[in-house]
A and B are shown apart, each in its own frame.
Chain A
Amino acid sequence: MGGHTVEEIKKEVRVYITVFVSLLVLSIATVLVSKLDVSMTVAVIIGMAIASLKGTLVACYFMHLISEKKAIYAVLIITVLFFAVLMALPLMDYQSNEAFTGRA
């Protein structure tokens, strides 16, 4: 997060406003898209894709991750790894159910 001279900070403010407007547009998009008559799988993919895009914008610009120090990235890489494991846990249960009962 550079931005120490007044000029640089003013430039950053413009970025924040752009991100803010994008987030509002994407929020409305997420509500509108949810009204579409698509299958659950497609709805989940679209919904989570928009949420991830919004999350990335917040993390990169509001939380300054776009230009952060290596130590922070190191912490976050480990976090992402363990988060992925957490999300994979239900999948394991799903497979073991299948093995025991022969059905999903």
Chain B
Amino acid sequence: MRFTIYRFNPEADNAPYMKDYELADIEPGTMLRDALLRIKNEQDDSLSFRHSCGEGVCGSDGININGSNALACVTSIDSLNEPIVLRPLPGMPVVRDLVIDMTQFYTQYRAVKPWLIVNDPVPEVEFKQSPEQRDKLDGLYECILCGCCSTACPSFWWNPDKFMGPAALLQSWRFLSDSRDQATDERLEALEGPYKLFRCHSIMNCVEVCPKQLNPTQAIGNIKKLMLKKML
């Protein structure tokens, strides 16, 4: 099986280049992460990529696979056309090979204050929530922050320092829809303006690539609807 992999070592290379590899004796159902590990162990130990849990939970190994962002650990190579072209997630600075600098992504994530904000005295035992209130968090809390969605979003490529990006906005809606959170007005206020939320044009690349099948576009639409409701 043939692979074409983006290579760039800023300490040694003047410019990025694509390098070809070939792997033989690949068992059916092999995941791309395992193939990459074989290339690294058997052919080229200078190849760099992030990985950890190997089962789509940690979100470390998000890469661009044949033009589409995905997690290497849950992508079976049987489903991919040859040569398998691997690039770093687009629109972010490359640290080395398939490893990108996620600083901007985490800055935007922190900016939406992804934690409960409670002004009342915190209950002594626990926060009470009805099953219906808890159900509203489904499809939101499962985000693993792999960055596949935000780095697939053209609006995030164009204004990465101003537009929050789908991952951060999904988390914003996760706390806006949490019955325990008491900072709705402050959260909405912080998203006002032409950039932070309203750069989203519902392109839906984020929905297409999310490895957890989440729907940031719908979350963004819900934030807009809530803003409108408050305005009217």
Same complex: no
**Which residues of B line the A interface, CB within 8 A?**
none
